[in-house]
């Protein structure tokens, strides 16, 4: 907007700014500062004041930091599996299937993810549990004699996490691959490149922004997931969000819970930041 | 008193963007009811000038007045000027009639009233009954007319047009040139037309300002610009011109004798500063040269060889070359005497000293055949 | 390799098979859930005992169908109310944010933009607990200083709305900004030139242009709010939203009524998604 246009729009500017500032300051900045504050306060009524005991507890109690490390590690594994599965699917939709069909496939791809995560996890539960549909068929076909409990183990939990976050990998990958000019692949082919070589030198480098944003989002979602580990994983609260929940809701130790929350936030921020740094991208670019 | 007859007056108008001077101390009066063009290469500042008049840019210094009223601190939506945008900027979410009625509605004209006036305006621009169509349904020329109708319905003091024909194909552009000129004559509104296409400016305008590097090189009628360019830039930019570099041997009464760098000695009109011994450029129109003239008295004469025929109907030219390798465009006479030309043929060329103009060398490369985009 | 290049049959067929298996993986849990909603059985499992609508329509007392299950019905209503409030609020603020970030220039714009993106990288659980903490602190502060007991600052319907809004508004901002970026600013100048003021420009030119994006963003907000679990878990009060209510039921052992609710959710969501896709198509044709 030009200089004289600006003069007139001062009012408009403030009208736009006010709700946005209200949103970001009151609902994003303030709560997280409060969380930081809480995490540094003592929970006991006898000795109120500043303290680091909440963080100390995290490092001293192996169950806490082991869960933390386990959560981070499994989130990384989930991200890697999602990427490996997502790349060919995205490539198929963007470049292999007939253009008319790719739109329909995209809609099919999106559909399950708009259904509540709870419904999806529930679907897996009735498929996999001891009295579940898969056990029913395996028994019928005589492959097994006694039903197997397929729920409540780490592999199933990871599968559930992959399933839950798949979309957030495939969608950015499809959009970035659609922007790849076919003639680049044709040129490489024409110049004698093999399939592997085309993937390595053309497709993967071109898809980097999509891969980055997909990985960041999937990692984030897995790290912060509560439902899937809780319902599909083991019963003993070994996902870090469950620890946070326990502190808040079961033990009612908000200070300890805040410290855990802040640690999780720090971990996810550091990983996102590192991912962006490694690929030399900006959050703004990845988001759009 | 003077101001009353001018729709637009600029006084020492200047616009700087940082160190860059886009518009440099321009003064101008545009008389009421005229078709005025500003012609210049891209980046010469003409669009900035126009946007200042429309109010989208603020002048660094100088004044703009419209019908005698100073426009400083008048917001763009309150100025009595309307702008036809380069890419028209028709509102795709509205019908044709809604587009045209938009400005009237903003002025508080009632809905049915503005609809009637929009319909009447559509009729005037030759699109009766197009009111309910969507913008996407119109052809390029029709959109053009809607964009102009949308402005004219507000009866502005001045209508600004920012290269509106640029996006059209050649044929339609030729047609729209004539239509625009007729339309302007019919409605009588002052048009200020911006273009980098010299033919658009020459065909339509009553007066043209040639603009270069933020300044006006010359303001005059199309005939004046073509026949008596005031600066070498105008000579190169308006119409086709052949050019020679040379040195003045003697000068008297506005006529000079010069020796071109290839050794020809010519008599020609000398502009200011073309004293004996000065380095000059000689400009000569393709149509000023006559091929194999019968009467050679009082003509500058030299010989050329035909290199190629640039056939273009009535505007056909010959690409010729002198013995020294200097290329010249010569207009192909339309009297069929030269119907069966073959490259390689030699001609004698003669031209009247009054049709060649000398300017003091200005450092620009004038050896190119075409002055456009200098 | 790609469509235009010659591909061997084995390559194409193995690729087709892979993608087919992928889609089976994708839809298996949903299809099974839907099918078992119609099984004439007391448990959401095979064998198949015949087709029945009991888990939708039966009034009880043995089988209580979803249309007679007051607790779940109340949760659905709560979820719809929440989603409507959240999407209205998010669209309003998100559109303001788009105008702010795309059309205005001001100091600290970059910093504010990063702050706007922050909810993308904050896990939902963290967002939930931080909202809970802040609401509690503000509530305690108000009670201590002014003596007000602000009901909605405790876990409640409005706290859920606020919590969900805090990150859904970011998605709206991104969707609307993407469309606004494609907007031809000369249309605004043209409108100004024709005598419109800044608000008339927004009302008559920019908003109509943004409408498809705004409608799409509203639909997405609705869905995101409706299915949200992580953030809601910490903020929910005495009126659970549907995902929370279902979670409590699934955790304590399941009945096929969960299947029938899931079936309704899947159908409803599909309609909304297809509607959104249709809007997107229409938008693309423009």
The reported pLDDT for the residue numbered A286 is 55
- Among residues C209, C167, C208, C160, the alpha carbon closest in space to that of C184 is found at C209
Q: How confident is the model at residue A172 (pLDDT cuts 50, 70, 90)?
A: confident
**Torsion, Cα of A249, A254, A257, A262 (10° steps):** 140
Residue C266 forms part of a structural domain: no
Residue C27, token pair as written in the block: 């839809």
Verify that B271 and B165 share a domain, yes or no: no
Q: Which tens digit of pLDDT belongs to each residue from A140-159? A: 888 888 878 888 888 889 99
Tokens 């300044």 belong to which residue?
A: B215
Chain A residue with minimum CA distance to C27: A112
Which of B56, B106, B136 is nearest residue C194 as measured by Cβ atoms? B106
Quickly count: other Cβ atoms within 10 Å of residue A137's Cβ: 11
Taking the CA of residue B75 and the nearest CA in chain C, the distance in Å comes to 9
Tokens 């008389």 belong to which residue?
A: B31
Are B108 and C196 a contacting pair, CB within 8 Å?
no
Distance CA C174, CA C167 (A): 11
Residue A36 forms part of a structural domain: no
- Cβ within 8 Å, pair B82-C208: no
Taking the CA of residue B373 and the nearest CA in chain A, the distance in Å comes to 29
**C-alpha separations of C146 from A26, B111, C143 in Å:** 20, 54, 6
Verify that B211 and B244 share a domain, yes or no: no
Chain A residue with minimum CA distance to C219: A114
Of B166, B193, B227, the position where a domain reaches its end is B227
Size of interface A-C (CB pairs under 8 A): 269
Residue B274 forms part of a structural domain: yes
Residue B131, token pair as written in the block: 């009111």
Q: Which tens digit of pLDDT belongs to each residue from B167-206? A: 788 888 888 888 889 889 988 899 999 999 888 899 999 9
The reported pLDDT for the residue numbered C286 is 45
Residue C7 forms part of a structural domain: no
CB < 8 Å to C197, chain B? 77, 106
- Cβ within 8 Å, pair A118-C121: no
Residue B234 forms part of a structural domain: no
The reported pLDDT for the residue numbered C1 is 63
Quickly count: other Cβ atoms within 10 Å of residue A19's Cβ: 18
Mean per-residue pLDDT of chain A: 83
Verify that B210 and B61 share a domain, yes or no: yes
Beta-carbon contacts of C28 under 8 Å, excluding residues fewer than 6 positions away, are A123, A127
**C-alpha separations of C151 from B201, C68, C158, C159 in Å:** 73, 31, 9, 10
C22 Cβ under 8 Å from any chain A Cβ: yes
- Cβ within 8 Å, pair A108-C23: yes
Q: Mutating which of A1, A3, A4 best tests the B interface, going by the most B Cβ atoms within 10 A? A: A4
Q: Write out chain C's pLDDT in tens, 286 residues.
A: 677 676 777 878 888 899 899 999 889 888 988 888 888 777 777 777 778 777 777 777 777 777 877 888 888 999 999 999 999 999 999 999 999 998 888 888 889 998 998 888 888 889 999 999 899 888 888 888 887 877 777 888 899 999 999 999 999 999 999 889 888 888 988 998 898 888 889 899 999 999 888 988 998 899 889 888 888 988 888 888 998 988 888 887 777 888 888 898 888 888 887 887 777 776 554 4
Percent of chain A with pLDDT strictly greater than 90: 12
Statement: residue A230 has pLDDT above 70: yes
- By CB neighbour count within 10 A (0-12 exposed, 13-18 middle, 19+ buried), where does C51 fall? exposed
The domain that holds B309 is classified in CATH as: 2.40.50.140
- The answer for B 194-233 residues in CB contact with C (under 8 A) is none
Distance CA C53, CA C39 (A): 8
Cα torsion A113, A116, A117, A119: sign: negative
Chain B residue with minimum CA distance to C208: B93
Of B227, B256, B273, the position where a domain reaches its end is B227
A8 Cβ under 8 Å from any chain B Cβ: yes
Percent of chain B with pLDDT strictly greater than 70: 96
The reported pLDDT for the residue numbered A236 is 64
The reported pLDDT for the residue numbered A282 is 66
CB < 8 Å to A133, chain C? 32, 36, 45-46
Residue C232 forms part of a structural domain: yes
The answer, yes or no, to whether ipTM is higher than 0.95 is: no
- Among residues B320, B333, B330, the alpha carbon closest in space to that of B355 is found at B330
Are A161 and A225 a contacting pair, CB within 8 Å?
yes
The reported pLDDT for the residue numbered C283 is 59
Verify that B272 and B155 share a domain, yes or no: no
CB < 8 Å to A4, chain B? 55-58, 75-76
B106 Cβ under 8 Å from any chain C Cβ: yes
- Cβ within 8 Å, pair B51-A2: yes
The domain that holds C243 is classified in CATH as: 1.10.3720.10
Question: What is the count of structural domains for chain C?
Answer: 1
Verify that B222 and B251 share a domain, yes or no: no
Which of C129, C162, C258 is nearest residue A122 as measured by Cβ atoms? C258
Residue A186's domain comprises 53-287
Verify that B221 and B244 share a domain, yes or no: no
Which of B76, B93, B107 is nearest residue C193 as measured by Cβ atoms? B76
Question: What is the count of structural domains for chain B?
Answer: 2
Verify that B184 and B327 share a domain, yes or no: no
Model pTM score: 0.80
Verify that B113 and B162 share a domain, yes or no: yes
Beta-carbon contacts of B316 under 8 Å, excluding residues fewer than 6 positions away, are B309, B310, B331, B332
Residue B185's domain comprises 6-227
Which of C36, C103, C177 is nearest residue A1 as measured by Cβ atoms? C103
Which of A27, A29, A124 is nearest residue C162 as measured by Cβ atoms? A27
Verify that B346 and B216 share a domain, yes or no: no
**C-alpha separations of A225 from A75, A127, A219, A249, B228 in Å:** 10, 21, 10, 17, 81
Q: Which residues pair with B23 in a beta bridge?
A: B15
Of B227, B255, B276, the position where a domain reaches its end is B227
CB < 8 Å to B85, chain C? 186, 189-190
The reported pLDDT for the residue numbered B113 is 92
Residue C145's domain comprises 67-254
| Neighbouring chains to B with at least 3 Cβ pairs closer than 8 Å | A, C
The reported pLDDT for the residue numbered A13 is 87
Q: What is the mean pLDDT of each run of 10 residues along chain B (374 residues)?
A: 69 91 92 92 90 90 91 87 89 90 90 92 88 90 90 90 84 87 90 91 92 92 91 89 89 87 88 85 90 86 90 86 88 79 87 90 57 38
CB < 8 Å to B58, chain A? 2-4
Which of C117, C166, C270 is nearest residue A27 as measured by Cβ atoms? C166
The reported pLDDT for the residue numbered A272 is 82
Helix, strand or coil, per DSSP, at residue B36:
strand
B134 Cβ under 8 Å from any chain C Cβ: no
- Cβ within 8 Å, pair A120-C30: yes
- Cβ within 8 Å, pair B85-C186: yes
- Cβ within 8 Å, pair C195-B103: yes
Are C132 and C124 a contacting pair, CB within 8 Å?
no
- Among residues B348, B342, B287, the alpha carbon closest in space to that of B317 is found at B287
Q: Which tens digit of pLDDT belongs to each residue from A80-104? A: 999 999 998 998 888 888 877 888 8
- Among residues B374, B66, B44, B90, the alpha carbon closest in space to that of B209 is found at B44
- Among residues B304, B306, B269, B305, the alpha carbon closest in space to that of B284 is found at B269
Distance CA A131, CA C42 (A): 13
Alpha carbons within 13 A on the beta-carbon side of B171: 0
Statement: residue A21 has pLDDT above 90: yes
The reported pLDDT for the residue numbered C234 is 87
Helix, strand or coil, per DSSP, at residue B231:
coil
Which long-range CB contacts under 8 A does A102-111 form with residues at least 24 apart?
A105/C19, A106/A174, A107/C273, A107/C274, A107/C277, A108/C23, A108/C26, A109/A167, A109/A170, A109/A171, A109/C26, A110/A167, A110/A171, A110/C273, A111/C269, A111/C270, A111/C273
The reported pLDDT for the residue numbered B76 is 86
- Cβ within 8 Å, pair C196-B106: yes
CB < 8 Å to B76, chain A? 4-5
Residue A20 forms part of a structural domain: no
A11 Cβ under 8 Å from any chain B Cβ: no
Which of A2, A7, A8 is nearest residue B57 as measured by Cβ atoms? A2
- The answer for C 31-90 residues in CB contact with A (under 8 A) is 32-33, 36, 43-47
Q: Which tens digit of pLDDT belongs to each residue from A51-80? A: 888 888 888 888 888 889 989 999 999 999
Q: How confident is the model at residue A190 (pLDDT cuts 50, 70, 90)?
A: confident
Beta-carbon contacts of B305 under 8 Å, excluding residues fewer than 6 positions away, are B320, B321, B322, B323, B344, B345, B346, B347
Taking the CA of residue B57 and the nearest CA in chain A, the distance in Å comes to 6
The domain that holds B180 is classified in CATH as: 3.40.50.300
CB < 8 Å to C205, chain B? 91, 93
Cα torsion B97, B102, B106, B107: sign: negative
Verify that B91 and B160 share a domain, yes or no: yes
Distance CA C149, CA C135 (A): 12
Verify that B91 and B10 share a domain, yes or no: yes
Angle between helices C9-36 and A117-128 (to 10 degrees): 90
**What does the DSSP assignment read for A255-280?**
HHHHHHHHHHHHHHHHHHHHHHHHTT
- The answer for B 51-90 residues in CB contact with A (under 8 A) is 51, 55-58, 75-76
Residue B373 forms part of a structural domain: no
- The DSSP code for B333 is P
Verify that B161 and B297 share a domain, yes or no: no
Size of interface A-B (CB pairs under 8 A): 16
Are B313 and B323 a contacting pair, CB within 8 Å?
no
Question: What is the count of structural domains for chain A?
Answer: 1
Q: Which residue has the higher pLDDT, B162 or A45?
A: B162
| Neighbouring chains to C with at least 3 Cβ pairs closer than 8 Å | A, B
Give how far the C-alpha of residue B312 lies from the chain's centroid of Cα atoms, to the nearest Å: 22
Rg (CA), chain B: 24
Are C114 and A284 a contacting pair, CB within 8 Å?
yes
The domain that holds A276 is classified in CATH as: 1.10.3720.10
Quickly count: other Cβ atoms within 10 Å of residue C253's Cβ: 7
Residue A17 forms part of a structural domain: no
- Cβ within 8 Å, pair B76-A5: yes
């Amino acid at each position: 907007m030009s200089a004289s246009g600006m003069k007139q729009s001062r009012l408009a500017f403030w009208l736009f700014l006010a709700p946005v500032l209200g949103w970001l300051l009151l609902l994003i900045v303030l709560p997280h500062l409060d969380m930081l504050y809480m995490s540094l306060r003592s929970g006991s009524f006898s000795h109120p004041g500043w303290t680091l005991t909440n963080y100390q507890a995290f490092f001293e109690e192996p169950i806490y930091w082991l869960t933390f490390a386990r959560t981070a590690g499994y989130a990384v594994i989930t991200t890697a599996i999602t990427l490996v599965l997502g790349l060919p699917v995205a490539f198929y939709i963007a470049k292999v299937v007939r253009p008319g069909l790719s739109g329909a496939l995209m809609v099919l791809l999106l559909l399950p993810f708009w259904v509540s995560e709870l419904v999806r996890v529930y679907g897996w539960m009735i498929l996999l549990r001891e009295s579940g549909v898969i056990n029913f068929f395996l028994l019928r076909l005589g492959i097994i004699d006694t039903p197997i409990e397929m729920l409540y183990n780490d592999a199933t939990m990871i599968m559930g996490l992959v399933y839950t976050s798949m979309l957030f990998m495939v969608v950015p990958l499809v959009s970035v691959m659609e922007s790849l000019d076919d003639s680049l692949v044709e040129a490489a082919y024409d110049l004698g490149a093999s399939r592997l070589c085309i993937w390595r030198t053309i497709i993967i480098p071109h898809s980097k922004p999509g891969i980055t944003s997909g990985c960041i989002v999937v990692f984030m979602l897995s790290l912060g997931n509560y439902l899937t580990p809780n319902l599909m994983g083991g019963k003993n609260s070994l996902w870090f969000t469950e620890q946070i929940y326990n502190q808040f809701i079961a033990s009612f130790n908000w200070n300890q819970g805040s410290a855990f929350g802040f640690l999780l936030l720090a971990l996810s921020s550091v990983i996102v930041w590192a991912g962006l740094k490694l690929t030399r991208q900006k959050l703004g670019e990845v988001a759009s | 008193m003077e101001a009353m007859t001018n729709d637009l007056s600029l006084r020492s108008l200047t616009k700087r963007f940082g160190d860059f001077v886009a518009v440099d101390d321009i003064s101008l009066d545009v008389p009421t009811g005229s078709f005025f063009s500003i012609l210049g290469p891209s980046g010469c500042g003409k669009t900035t000038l126009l946007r200042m008049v429309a109010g989208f840019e603020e002048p660094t210094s100088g004044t703009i007045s419209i019908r005698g009223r100073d426009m400083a601190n008048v917001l763009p939506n309150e100025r009595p000027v309307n702008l036809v945008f380069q890419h028209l900027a028709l509102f795709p979410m509205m019908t044709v009639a809604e587009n045209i009625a938009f400005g009237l509605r903003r002025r508080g004209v009632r809905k049915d009233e503005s609809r009637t006036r929009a319909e009447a305006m559509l009729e005037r621009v030759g699109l009766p009954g197009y009111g309910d169509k969507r913008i996407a349904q119109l052809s390029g020329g029709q959109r053009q007319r809607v964009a102009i109708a949308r402005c004219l319905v507000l009866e502005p003091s001045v209508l600004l047009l920012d290269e509106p024909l640029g996006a059209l194909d050649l044929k339609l552009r030729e047609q729209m040139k004539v239509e625009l000129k007729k339309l302007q004559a019919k409605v009588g509104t002052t048009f200020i037309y911006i273009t980098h296409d010299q033919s658009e400016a020459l065909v339509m305008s009553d007066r043209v300002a040639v603009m270069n590097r933020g300044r006006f090189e010359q303001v005059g009628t199309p005939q004046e610009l073509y026949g008596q360019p005031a600066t070498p830039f105008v000579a190169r930019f308006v119409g086709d011109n052949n050019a020679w570099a040379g040195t003045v041997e003697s000068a008297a009464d506005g006529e000079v004798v010069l020796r071109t760098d290839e050794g020809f000695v010519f008599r020609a009109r000398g502009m200011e500063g073309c004293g004996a011994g000065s380095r000059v450029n000689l400009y000569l129109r393709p149509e000023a040269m006559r091929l194999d003239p019968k009467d050679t008295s009082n003509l500058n004469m030299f010989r050329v060889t035909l290199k190629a025929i640039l056939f273009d109907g009535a505007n056909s030219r010959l690409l010729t070359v002198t013995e020294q390798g200097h290329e010249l465009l010569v207009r192909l006479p339309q009297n069929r005497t030269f119907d069966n030309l073959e490259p390689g043929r030699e001609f004698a060329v003669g031209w009247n000293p009054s049709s060649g103009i000398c300017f003091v060398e200005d450092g620009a490369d004038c050896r190119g055949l075409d002055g456009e985009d200098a | 390799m790609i469509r235009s290049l010659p591909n061997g049959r084995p390559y194409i067929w193995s690729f087709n098979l892979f993608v087919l298996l992928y889609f089976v993986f994708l839809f298996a849990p949903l299809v099974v859930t839907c099918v078992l909603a119609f099984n004439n059985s007391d448990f959401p499992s095979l064998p198949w005992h015949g087709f029945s609508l009991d888990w939708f329509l039966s009034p009880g007392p043995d089988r209580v169908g979803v249309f007679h299950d007051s607790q779940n019905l109340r949760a659905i209503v709560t979820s719809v109310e929440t989603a409507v409030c959240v999407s209205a609020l998010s669209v309003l603020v998100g559109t303001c944010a788009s105008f702010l970030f795309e059309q205005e220039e001001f100091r600290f714009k970059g910093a504010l933009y990063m702050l706007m993106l922050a909810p993308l990288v904050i896990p939902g659980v963290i967002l939930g607990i931080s909202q809970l903490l802040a609401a509690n602190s503000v509530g305690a502060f108000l009670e201590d200083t002014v003596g007000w007991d602000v009901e909605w600052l405790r876990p409640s319907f409005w706290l859920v709305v606020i919590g969900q809004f805090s990150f859904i508004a970011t998605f709206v901002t991104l969707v609307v900004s993407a469309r606004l970026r494609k907007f031809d600013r000369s249309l605004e100048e043209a409108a100004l030139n024709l005598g419109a003021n800044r608000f008339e420009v927004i009302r008559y030119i920019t908003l109509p242009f943004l409408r498809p994006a705004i409608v799409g963003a509203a639909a997405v907000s609705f869905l995101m709010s409706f299915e949200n679990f992580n953030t809601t878990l910490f903020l929910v009060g005495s009126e659970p939203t549907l995902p929370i209510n279902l979670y409590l039921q699934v955790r304590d052992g399941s009945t096929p009524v969960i299947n029938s609710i899931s079936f309704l959710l899947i159908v409803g969501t599909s309609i909304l998604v297809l509607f959104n896709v249709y809007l997107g198509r229409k938008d693309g044709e423009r």
